Structure 1
Amino acid sequence: MSEPESVKDLVVVDLGVGMPSAIVAKFLREMGATVWRVAPPAGDPFESIYPAYTSWHSGSRMATPDHLDELLARADVCLIGGEDHPGLEWSFEGAALIAANPRLVVLQIAGYARGFEQRAAVDLLVQARVGLAFEIFSDRPVNFACPLPTYGAAIQGLLGVGAALVERERSGRGQLVETSLQQGAGMFLSCLWMSIEDTQSVNMRNPPKDVWAPIVRCADGQYVFFVPRYNGMDKVFAAFGIDKSIGDTAKKGYFGDIDLFQRYATKFTHEELLRACWAADVAAEKVLGPGECWDDEQVRVNGTIVTEVDGRRRVGTPLTMRAVQPNSGAPRTSLPSAPEDAAPLAGVRILDFGAMVAGAYGSKLLADLGADVIKVEPLAGDIMRTASYPNFVVSNQGKRSLHLDAKAPESMDVVRRLCATANAASHNFRVGSAGRIKLDPASLRGYRPDIVAVQCFSYGASGPRAMNAGLDPLMQAYCGQAVRAGGRDNAPLWYRNLYIDYATGAIGAIAMLFGIREQLCHGNAVEAETSLLEAGLFLMSELIQCADGSFSGGPPLDYDRTGFHCTECLYQTKDGWVAIAARSDDMAARLVNVLHLQGFPENSRSWGDSERQKIAERIRSRTTHELLQQLEAADVWCEKCNENGWQSLLDDPTARAANLIVETRDPNVGALITVGPLVSFSRSRLDANRPMSVPTGGVDTREILGELGYSSTEIDNLAARKVVA
C-alpha cells in the first residue's frame, strides 16, 4: 500500500489569500500534491491575522509572479480568492486563466454565491448576513467560535476540485469551480434551514434554539459532557445515582432536567462521573480546552497532529488514504460517455452503507454532483428515519434506497453484484463490524479489484478509544470546541447544528472523489479512513503549539461571545445587532470617527476591553439603520445581524437561481424546501430538476436488483426469505 499516485501527480498553484484558500492548499499538499505558492507582492496581511498562517503554507514551494504563466501551464489546479482585507489588491479572473490553460481546474472562493451582491468576504460578516449568528439563541446572536463559513467554503471547494478532476478524466478539459463563505455556512445549516409540509407523520426532533446541553460541573471544577442515547434516560439515572421515582425528567427539556443532573454531578469528581457513565453505557467525555487532547494516546495513534522542523505542532490532514494495486489483468475503469454539459459525476456510482449523519452525508454531497448513490439500509431502515427526520433528509436527498439484510448469507451475492457496478463504497460501522459482514476494504476488493472503500469511525480505526461511541456533541467537548465557544470565564457551550458530523461526512466524500481519480488514472483500489475526532481537530486548524509548549491561535470568545477582538465583533444597537469588521488601522480609525470617539491608540490590535466597552456604548445609542448608513459611508465593513436567515431565503429568487435553495415534491412529507448543492461549475451542469426527495425505505430495491440481473422471480424469492425488502 502507498499514497495514491494520482494525488502525488497533482500540481497546484495557490494564488489565494486568507484562511479558506490556505486550508484547501494545505489539505491538497498533505494529501501529496505539489503546491506552488505565489503570494501578493506587497505582502499577505493574513499572516498577522492567523498565527497558523505560515504553518498552513509551510510545505508549499514559493514562487514569484513573474513565473506564474510557466507554473499555470503545467498546473492541474489553481486557487484564487478567499477572504478580503482592506487595501489588498490581488485578484484573478478564473475564465481567463482557463482560456490560456484549457486543462486547468480553477477554484474560486468568494464571499457570496454567484448572483448575490459581493460584499466583504469576512467570516463574521457572513455569519451575520446569512443568519448563522442567530442560530444558537433566540434573543441574541453569537459569533461562532469555529468559523463555519470559512471551513465550509474550504470543504466545498475541495469537493468541487475533486469532482472537476474526475470529470476531466472523461472530457480532458478543466473548468471553473466556484463556492463561497455563504455556501460554506449553508453546509452546516442544512438540518436547520428546511421546510417540511407534513410534519405530523415524521419525527421532527432537532435540537432547538436555547437548548440546555448536558454539560455538568463536577466536584473538582471540571466539566463533563454526557449524551443520553436514543434508548431513554434510565442509564443516565443509573450513572448519576438518581432514583427513577423522582420522575420522568426526560420530558423536561430536550436532554432532560439538566438542573437535576447538575445537582447530582457535584457528588462526583469528573473521573468518577466518567467511569460511572461508561459503566452504564452512557457516552460521555471530559470537556477539554483547545489543544488539551493533543497528547492523548488516541490522538497520537491517529497521527493527526504534525510536528514541524522548528518544533511547532499543528493539525494535519483529517484523512488517511492508501492505494492498493489490484492483481494484473484487472480491467481499467473508465467513465461512460456523457454530454458535454453533464453533471461532473455523471456515470459514477456510490454504495452508501452508512447511517446517521456522518456516515450518510458524504454520499449525499456526491449525489448533488450527479453521482448515482444507492443507499443500502438494513431491513428496519436507517435509525435516523425515525430518530430525526430533518437530519435524515439532509443526509439522504437524491439517493436510491435498497433494503438488504447484510448479515444473511444470501446477501453476499447482492453485495458482490452491487460492488461490480460501483466506483466506491462507504460506511460508518463501528470498528470490526465491517469485517464480520464482509464489507471491509479487503472483502470489497474481492468483489471489485479497484473499488474505493471509505470508512468513517468515531475516534479512529485503532487506539484506546476506538471502540467508544462517538457523537458530535462529545467531539465538540473532547476537541476543545465547546470551551472555545463558551467564551472567556464562561461555562462551555455546545452548538446545536452537528457541524462535526457534517464535516466528517464531507471529508469522506473528498476521499471518495480523489480515490475515484486514482481508480481512473492508475487502476488502483483505495482505502480511506476518517473519523469524528479527526474532523473535530481539523475544524480547529487555527491552533498551533509553539516549541515552548504554549498555544497560539484558536482563542476563546470574549465573555459576551460576540468576538475575539473589538475591531471584529458583534454589537447591539438600539433596535438590533450589527457585525463590524474593521480589519486595518485605517478602517478602525474611521470606525471611531463615525462614533465620535477619541484617544484610541493608532495600533488597533492593541485595543482591548476598555475600547470595546466604549464602542459598544456608542453603538447602543444608534438604530441599526442609522449606524449601517454611517459605517457604509465611511467605508467600514459591517452587516446587520439577520434574525430570519432561513425565512429570508425561502422566497429569494437569487437564492433559488443559485441552487442555494431547492424545492421538491417529496412522497413522504409533501413540499420539501432545503439547501441545495453548495458548489457550482462553469461547464458541467448540476441538474436543478433532478429528484431531491428522500427515498422511501426500500422503494428502489426491485429496480436496483433488476439492473443487477436478477429476474422478477429471483427478487420475489429474496424478499420472501427476508434477504431484501
Structure 2
Amino acid sequence: MASNLPLAGYHVLDLGRTRAVAQGTHFLALLGARVTRIDIEGSCLSDVHDVLWNRDKERLAAAHDPADRARQLVSHLSAVDIVMHDFLPSEARALGLDPDSLSAAYPALVHVAVGAWPAGHPHQDMPVDDALALGSAGLFDEQQPVARDGPLWLRFPFSSALAAYVAASGALARLYARNRSGKGGPVSTSLVQAGLLPMMMHWTRAENPTPSVQFGMPKDSGATLFECADGQWIHIMGAAEKSPAIAKALAEMPREVRDRHNEKYAGAVIPYLDGERGAVEAILMTRPSREWLTEFWASDVPAQPVQPMGALFKDEQALAAGYVVQRELPGVGKIRVAGAPFHLLTDTIGPDGAVPPVADVAQGAPKLPLEGVKVLDLGAFLAGPLVPMLLGDLGADVIKLEPLAGDPMRPGEWAFNGCQRSKRSISVQLKDPRGREVMERLVGWADIVHHNQRMPAADKLGFGWDRVRAINPSAIYSHVSSYGPAGPRKDWPGYDQLFQASAGWEQEGGGEGNPPMWHRFGVVDHLAALASLLVTLAALVRRDLTGKGEWVAASLLGASMAAWDSYMDEQDRLAPAPRLDSMQMGEGPAKRIARTSDGWIVMSSDDPEAPHRLARLAGDRPVDDWMAGQPADALLAMLKAGGIPATRLTLDNRDAFLSDPANRALSLSISAQHPVYGAFETIGGAWNFGPDLRLSLDLPPPLLGQHTRMILSELGLAEHAQQLLFDEQIIRETRA
C-alpha cells in the first residue's frame, strides 16, 4: 500500500468468515495496512462479498492438517501487528486463538474477536449472523412493518456493517495504547453491541424522566416520504413550505380542502410539517419528482429521491467525491464498487513504511485505550457528536462546546442522549470575539477537533481547517459532512433519511412491491460517525510517528454506499443481492421470521438444502402452518437437529434487556446518575478490552454548559474574568 497512508507499515491477519471481519480488515487495508487473509473453511461470504471486501488482500488457503494449520497460524501471528477473527469462544480455544493464549504467546499482538454476542454471555455460541443477532436482541421488533403488525425481517444488514467499523476502530484504539505501553492485548465486540449503538436513542430508562425522554420516538412515528405524480418517492427533511411552489399551493388551497387532506393524519404520533402533511402530500402528487427535487434544492430544503440500490454509481456527487471506484478483476471483469467511506485531505507522509517502535518496557501503562487524548466536540445533531462520545467511551477527555441555545437536538432529549455521554459541556457565544477566544484556547488544548457543521459555517465561526491548523498544527481535524468534501453538493445540508433514500436502503427495506420504508434506527448517521471514528483513530496512530496534525473526513453519502452488499458490472447490472419479500418476512424459505404457537422465531441459513430439510420436517403440511402450530422451543430444537440455525425472536425487549443481569455484568446495559433524570439506564459499550484496559462509561449526557466554570478554570481563566463573560452573556452554565 502507499506509504503516505496512515497505517503503512502495519501488518494485519484476517481469519474471518463473516462480513464484519472481512470488511473491517478491508477498511484497515484502505488505510494503508498490509492485510493477509487465510481463507478458513465454513466462510459465510458469497462470491459477491469476496469481491467487495477481500479484493486487495494477500490470500492463503488454510492448511487442512491440524498440525500444519497450527504451524501456519504461528508463523503468521508472530509476524503481524493485528489479527482479527470471528471464531466462537470454543473454536478459538481449540485453535489457540483465545485471548489468554494469544496474549501469553504474542505480548505485542493486538487480537480482535467478533461474535454474535460477547464472550461470557449466555448467547456467546450463537452463529455470527445479522438476523440471529438482531432477532434475539429484539431489534426485529423495533420497526413498524409497511403493511401489517408484528415484527419484520430487516434487509439492511446494519449490525455487520456497523461491527466492521467497531472492530477496526477497536483494533486501532488498542494499537494506540500499545504504541505507548509496549503491550498488545485483546479487543472484542459483537454484532449485538454494534447493532445496539443506534438503540441508545430508544432503549433508555430514567428514574425521573422528562416528557421528551418518556415519549421517545415510537415505532409507528412514520417518516416524511412522499409519492409524486410520476410514481416516484422522495424523502423531505425540514420545512417543505420554504419552497415557493409549496407555499403558494398551500396558500391557494381552500381551507376545507386542506383540512380534508390533513384529516388523514389527524391521529399521527408526530404531526409532521406543522400538521400540513396531508395537504403537502396532495400538492406533491401534482408534479413529477424531478421538478419537485429541483424546486427543493433551489430553496435549500433537504430532499432526495428514493432510488434503487446502485443508482448512486452514476451520481454526479458520488463520482466527484470519490465514492465510486472502477476496478478490473480476474474472473469478474470491469466493475464499479463503493469507494472508501473516508478521506485523508492533507499530505502527512512519514518515513517510508515506518511504524512507531513498540516500547520495550511499559511505563505508566494506561488504564483506558485513549487515556490522555483530548477532544473538542463542535458538532450537533447525531453523526457529529457520536464520534466524540465513542472517543470518550474509549477514555479520551471530551469537551462539547455548544452555543448558548444549545445543540439543536437538545429538545429531542431521547435522540440527544443517544450520542452525548462521556463528555463535559461548555456553552459559548462564538459570534462574539471574546467567545471566539475561549474556543481558540480549547483548540490549542485539543488533540482532536471534531465537528459536522457545513464548512462555510465552520469557517465563518472560526473553526475551519486553516484556522485550527494555525492555532494547533498537531491537532487532528475531523469532519463529517453530508455529501463529502468535494463536488457540487459538498456544502449541502443532509440527514440520515436522505441517504437511506438515495442509496436504496428505503426501497430495499420496504419489501417487494411496497412503498419505501425509513429505518428509524438512524443507521446511516451511525455508519458515517463510525467511518469518521476509524479514520480519526488512524490519524491519531500516525501522529505518533509524524507529530503532525491532519484533516480527515467522512460523510453520510460515502457511508451509505460502503454499506452496500453488491457492485455494478459493465452492463450496469447489479451483482446478486438479497431481496425482501412483500410481507417483510424474509429473503428466502430458510432465511426469514416465522410465527409459532407462542411467539416468533428467526431462521437464517444460506444452505441450498435447508429449504428441503425444512419441508421434510413439516411433512405434508404447508411449512408456515406447521410452524405456526409448534411451540417455539420445540420448533427450535427440531430446526437445530435439522441443521438450520434459528433463535427465538424477542419482542418488546427494552426493559428486559436493560435489567438482564448477564447484560449488566458485561456492560451491555449500564446505569449512571444524571442530574435531572436520577438513575439513567442505557446501552453500554461497543467494545471489551480484557483485564488491562477498560471503557469509561461513567459520565451521563451533560446539561447545557454544565462544566463551563470547571473547563475555564482548567484553561487558566481567572474567576473574575469568567464572571465578566457570564455577566456579558458570552458563556452560560446550567447547574447540576
Same fold (TM over 0.5): yes
SS of 2:497's partner is helix
Shift of 1:617: 3.2
Residue aligning to 1:362: 387
Counterpart residue type for residue 448 of structure 1:
N
Counterpart residue type for residue 38 of structure 1:
I
Counterpart residue type for residue 365 of structure 1:
L
Residue aligning to 1:604: none
Counterpart residue type for residue 475 of structure 2:
I
**Matching of residue 114 in structure 1 with residue 119 in structure 2:** yes
Counterpart residue type for residue 238 of structure 1:
A
Q: 1:101 aligns with which of 100, 106, 110?
A: 106
Residue aligning to 2:644: 636
Q: Deviations over 1:690-709 (max 9, x none)?
A: 53311111121111111111
User: Where in structure 1 are there 5+ consecutive unaligned residues?
Assistant: 599-613
Q: 1:624 aligns with which of 611, 619, 632?
A: 632
Q: How many residues were matched structurally?
A: 695
Residue aligning to 2:563: 539
Shift of 1:373: 0.4
Residue aligning to 2:133: 126
Shift of 1:626: 3.1
**Matching of residue 321 in structure 1 with residue 344 in structure 2:** yes
How far apart, in 1, do the equivalents of 2:366 and 2:547 lie? 26
CA contact (8 A) 1:6 1:521 kept: no
Residue aligning to 1:685: 693
Shift of 1:592: 2.8
Shift of 1:225: 1.4
Residue aligning to 2:182: 172
Q: 2:599 aligns with which of 555, 561, 576?
A: 576
Structure 1 residues 597 and 165: CA distance shift in structure 2, 3 A = farther
User: Where in structure 2 are there 5+ consecutive unaligned residues?
Assistant: 63-70, 351-355
CA contact (8 A) 1:4 1:518 kept: no
CA contact (8 A) 2:52 2:566 kept: no
Shift of 1:235: 8.0
Counterpart residue type for residue 127 of structure 2:
A
Alignment of 1:48-63 (within 5 A): 49=46, 51-63=48-60
Residue aligning to 1:697: 704
Q: 2:198 aligns with which of 178, 188, 192?
A: 188
How far apart, in 2, do the equivalents of 1:619 and 1:487 lie? 23
Shift of 1:50: 5.4
Shift of 1:159: 2.0
Residue aligning to 2:227: 217
Shift of 1:675: 0.6
Counterpart residue type for residue 27 of structure 2:
F
Q: Deviations over 1:135-159 (max 9, x none)?
A: 1128311111111221222121122
CA contact (8 A) 1:359 1:505 kept: yes
User: Under a length normalisation based on structure 1, what TM-score does the superposition of the two structures give?
Assistant: 0.89
How far apart, in 1, do the equivalents of 2:605 and 2:99 lie? 28
CA contact (8 A) 1:239 1:277 kept: no
Counterpart residue type for residue 28 of structure 2:
L
How far apart, in 2, do the equivalents of 1:120 and 1:203 lie? 35
Residue aligning to 2:247: 238
Deviates more, 1:430-439 or 1:26-35: 430-439
**Matching of residue 422 in structure 1 with residue 446 in structure 2:** yes
CA contact (8 A) 2:200 2:419 kept: no
How far apart, in 1, do the equivalents of 2:730 and 2:7 lie? 39
Identity of aligned residues (%): 26
Structure 1 residues 25 and 244: CA distance shift in structure 2, 3 A = farther
Deviates more, 1:503-512 or 1:120-129: 503-512
Residue aligning to 1:474: 498
Q: Deviations over 1:320-360 (max 9, x none)?
A: 02455599xxxx9x99x985461111111110000000110
Alignment of 1:139-154 (within 5 A): 139-154=149-164
**Matching of residue 345 in structure 1 with residue 370 in structure 2:** yes
Residue aligning to 1:606: none
Structure 1 residues 240 and 397: CA distance shift in structure 2, 3 A = farther
CA contact (8 A) 2:9 2:33 kept: yes
Alignment of 1:217-366 (within 5 A): 217-229=227-239, 238=247, 241=250, 243=253, 245=255, 246-247=258-259, 252-253=267-268, 254=270, 255=272, 256=275, 258-309=277-328, 310-325=333-348, 340=365, 342-366=367-391
**Matching of residue 80 in structure 1 with residue 85 in structure 2:** yes
Shift of 1:233: 9.3
How far apart, in 2, do the equivalents of 1:375 and 1:3 lie? 34
SS of 2:303's partner is strand
CA contact (8 A) 1:424 1:452 kept: yes
Q: 2:544 aligns with which of 520, 538, 547?
A: 520
Residue aligning to 2:731: 724
Deviates more, 1:428-437 or 1:287-296: 428-437
CA contact (8 A) 2:510 2:516 kept: yes
SS of 1:570's partner is strand
CA contact (8 A) 2:590 2:644 kept: no
Q: 1:484 aligns with which of 508, 511, 515?
A: 508
Shift of 1:290: 0.1
CA contact (8 A) 1:13 1:36 kept: yes
Deviates more, 1:242-251 or 1:130-139: 242-251
How far apart, in 2, do the equivalents of 1:258 and 1:572 lie? 35
Q: Deviations over 1:620-652 (max 9, x none)?
A: 232323322322344431111111221221221
Q: 1:200 aligns with which of 199, 210, 229?
A: 210
How far apart, in 1, do the equivalents of 2:453 and 2:267 lie? 32
Alignment of 1:524-603 (within 5 A): 524-540=548-564, 542-585=565-608, 587-596=610-619
